[in-house]
Structure 1
Amino acid sequence: MSRQRLRVDDFDLVEINEALASQVIACVTKLSLHESNRPAP
């Protein structure tokens, strides 16, 4: 993302494949994603 000068704020929706919990935790931490930003079902 940094090579393209993109930030998480540039996206309206980010989808993460939940196959591995450790990958989800790493992405949420690295991208500073929070449950409060999750869209309603």
Structure 2
Amino acid sequence: MNTEEFNNKFDEGQSMVDDLDLSKALRSEQQLTRISIDFPV
């Protein structure tokens, strides 16, 4: 699919999910950070 077809499909309100490779999609600023918490017993 070229960019013109992609844009036309988007402009017509059609679903884009089937045309995207979501297996490598990342959300910005959603990286995991490991923390350590010590609880008193």
Same fold (TM over 0.5): no
Identify the structure with bigger relative contact order (alpha carbons < 8 Å, sequence gap 6+): 1
Tell me which structure has the larger Cα radius of gyration. 2
**TM-score, structure 1 as length reference:** 0.30
**TM-score, structure 2 as length reference:** 0.30
